Homo-oligomer: A and B are copies of this chain.
Amino acid sequence: MRSITVDLGERSYPIYIGSGLLQSIGERCTEAGFAQRSPLLVVSDTEVAPRYLEQVETSLRSSGYTVVSHVIQAGEASKSLAVYEEVITTAIQGGLDRSSAVLALGGGVVGDLAGFVAASYMRGIGFMQIPTTILAHDSSVGGKVAVNHPLAKNMLGAFYQPSMVLYDLDTLATLPPRQVASGLAEVVKHGLILDREFAYWCQGHAEELLALDPEALGYALERGCAIKAEVIGGDEREHGQRAILNLGHTIGHAIEAVGGYGTFLHGEAIAIGMAGSALLAAKLGRDRQIYEDTVSMLTALSLPTRLPSQYSGEELMEAMMHDKKFKEGRMTFIVPEAIGEVSIISDVQASDVSEVIAQLKKEGSPW
């Protein structure tokens, strides 16, 4: 079992990565400090629950916990205020009190939704992340929880740290290939922003990663989580440096919003966004080779780097205006300086972004 600590003072917590961890989840809850007398709420979705929910409930009950569960429809559409309210109703009816905790058993949608439930139920109760996708290695670490508003993604949320992240690699075995690649987009992102060597390692081990080789995957997730933990340890509430984790996300979120959440998978959308950021870098005078290398890496990981022609540039620009990174009238972008190094550029011109969008839609070379 691999173990990492996210260092946030009194809100520090461990991430455990390994095989067979679900079997001991009851003991982990005790280690996390959850009281046996107070009911636990497990939130999962229609993809994950049939495979793992019973096992989790059994382990929790054998450790003396009362368990209520709420299974949401799989997919980004469930990250809504309406579903949030349904989960809260289950929590109230299940008798959750101020010593209770919420366990998020699933991918990023489950984690974000269940996390906002945990953050706001009775003004905040216990929380554990049990990610079952590769993508969730990113969203389950760092305490960003949220639901979507019809006008913008992740608009309602909180910074709310879990007490523990439990990553059972066995749950990844049944992921469909597109989900695997989508998850690897956030993995390689951590290399692109801070660790050149790791980024090229991902490219070199793309085949093993796509085949879910346990050794390669375990290392990639550990390294990805460790980079993320390092960044948020220095800037929990995203006042500054934490924003580098948003590489590719401004364009990526706009793609998701315009396409309707769910047309592109999240990792696919941010892969296109990362290609866009590299194009923006070239526009701002950085080496075009950054773009070429970024596209090579993403392509090796079976990820898209171009935007289908039916996407409207105007709609994408409009969606970006609602993005949280549109601060005080100017656009902020995370722009690569090299592979493994990025800058936060806060006065990007909308016209440059608009041109990048056009380039992303061009066939062949963007130049």
Contact = CB atoms under 8 A, between A and B. Distances in A.
Interface residues of A, number: 39
A35 interface: yes
A322 B92 contact: yes
Contacts of A124: 158-159, 237
Contact of A152 (B92, B146, B237): B92
B324 A151 contact: no
A324 B98 contact: yes
A241 to B, nearest CB: 15
A81 interface: yes
Contacts of A85: 81, 149
Given A119-B158, A123-B144, A159-B124, A88 B37 contact: no
A175 interface: no
Given A88-B156, A120-B120, 7 more contacts: A38-B328, A89-B151, A92-B152, A92-B155, A116-B120, A123-B146, A123-B158
Contacts of A95: 321
Contacts of A151: 89, 92-93
A157 interface: yes
A329 interface: yes
Contacts of A324: 97-98, 122
A326 interface: yes
A20 to B, nearest CB: 31
A198 interface: no
A167 interface: no
A51 interface: no
A321 B123 CA distance: 17
A143 to B, nearest CB: 9
Contacts of A158: 119-120, 123-124, 158
Interface string A313-328: 0000000011010111
28 contacts: A35-B328, A37-B328, A38-B328, A81-B85, A85-B149, A88-B155, A89-B151, A92-B155, A93-B151, A95-B321, A97-B326, A97-B327, A97-B328, A98-B324, A98-B327, A99-B328, A116-B120, A120-B156, A120-B158, A122-B157, A122-B324, A123-B144, A123-B157, A123-B158, A123-B159, A124-B158, A124-B237, A158-B158
